[in-house]
Amino acid sequence: MVKKLNKEQILQQVIRHGQISRADIAKEARLSRPCVSALVNEMIEEGLLQEVGVGDSKGGRKPILLEYNYQAYAIAGAVFEGTTLQMALADLKGEFLARHRTRLKQPADSDRVIRDLADGLEHLLMQSGVSRERLLGIGVGLPGITQRHSGTVSFSPSTGWVDLPVQQEIARRLGIPVIIDNDVNMMTLGECARGAGSGSAHVVYLYVGTGIGAGIMLDGQFFRGSREAAGEVGYMMIGPVHNRRNGEFGVFESNYSVPGIWKRAQSFLSGLREESSIIQQLIEQREQGNRQAEQLLDDVYRHWAYGMANVISVLNPELFILSGEMVHVDPKGMEQIENWLSEWVPVVPRIVKASLGEEAGLIGAVYSVLEAFPSEKLLDK
């Protein structure tokens, strides 16, 4: 135990400083030089540390510098949204080594999704040349209310999953540790780690796709609610209320998610391109003088702003990130949304578009594993 704790101290000093000598490690960690030298040699043999050259002399022999070997192990990330499964393999710095993308058959079946995950992981390992033994784990972003501690998806209208023990099944099939979370939470984590949310402590990330969801970061920590259902803003009572049955999408997302907007646009537009953004196509039609497209676009923007106002008035975030279909809002629309919010709420946060695109969820999935398996876990490998 003492040896492991000492190794952990050494590893943390190397990570913190980037490059550091054995002597400086001993000084910073308050360990004897012989102890540090012996443990560093072991960690070099294990592949955790590597020598990277010599540093400046402080009066004697130039010291040999050590660096953390971020390529020692790898982490997989996966995000399932709608009909698409995206996967990536990354090093311990979170840098992608390989990518994989596949379309899923609908309706989504849990067995099929897990098979696709397994196939995708094999593809990533083959593409990157990383051996399975070097794989620490996988983070998986899933739609719906995801119970991280029990490893279940308690409810997901897009897949029909109810109280499904997804984490256990994925771990059994892949043979590696698994972290699951809501797909929008994964995107939020990615955007806050490397994108538009970096450096902000109070963030709301709003995603419009097959459904509508939000990731909530307060004081630098996720706010998940008592049953981890916080952020399910698609259930806000925004828009026309139809006869809704259990298991269906919420009112807000039924009307103003991508499928809801698409359905309304089809009633007066022909030749819509499935591969293109519905908002971009409505903007194109508006610029060509289509009055119905202009009215629908205005209605969508207004109701998205209603949802934002509801969230802002409760949480008072410093930053509001728009993602998914919302990144296609034109400058005129952004100005209109901000004007509405200025009328409706006492304090308007800074509003920006997500900067990482589809990579946000994958980055978040990778970071979820890095957070769940801190550096001392590497010493058990």
Same domain, 289 and 325: yes
For residue 152, the model assigns a pLDDT of: 83
Give the tokens for residue 328: 């296609």
Residue 245 CA to residue 167 CA, distance in Å, equals 28
Residue 168 sits in a domain of what CATH number? 3.30.420.40
Mean pLDDT, to the nearest integer, of 188-204? Answer: 96
d(CA 363, CA 189): 8
**Residue range 23-64, pLDDT digits in tens:** 999 989 889 999 999 999 998 888 889 898 887 777 667 889
Q: What's the mean pLDDT in 134-150?
A: 86
Which CATH number do you get for residue 33?
Answer: 1.10.10.10
What does the pLDDT average to over 285-306? 97
Q: Using 50, 70 and 90 to split pLDDT, how confident is the model at 160?
A: low
377 — pLDDT class (breaks 50, 70, 90): low
Same domain, 100 and 13: no
Q: Which of 21-25, 46-50, 115-119, 179-183 has the lowest mean pLDDT?
A: 46-50
Who has greater pLDDT, 124 or 111?
Answer: 124
Residue-number span of the structural domain to which 30 is assigned: 2-68
Q: State residue 158's pLDDT score.
A: 62
- Choose the most confident range, by mean pLDDT, from 103-117, 127-141, 235-249, 302-316: 302-316
- Based on the structure, what is the number of domains in the chain? 3
Q: How much is the pTM?
A: 0.85
Residues 202 and 294 in one domain: yes
**Percent composition of the chain: helix, strand, coil (DSSP 3-state, to 5):** 45, 25, 35
Confidence of residue 83 (pLDDT cuts 50, 70, 90): confident
Residue 157 placed within a domain: yes
Question: What residue type is 340 in one-letter code?
Answer: W
Q: What's the confidence (pLDDT) of residue 252?
A: 97
Better-predicted residue by pLDDT, 6 or 341: 341
CA dist list (Å): 41 to 35, 50, 129, 240 = 10, 9, 26, 67
Average pLDDT (371-380) is 63
Residues 96 and 244 in one domain: no
Clarify whether residues 154 and 300 are in a common domain.
no
pLDDT, tens only, 271-281: 899 889 999 99
Residue pLDDT, tens place only, 237-264: 999 987 666 557 899 999 999 999 999 9
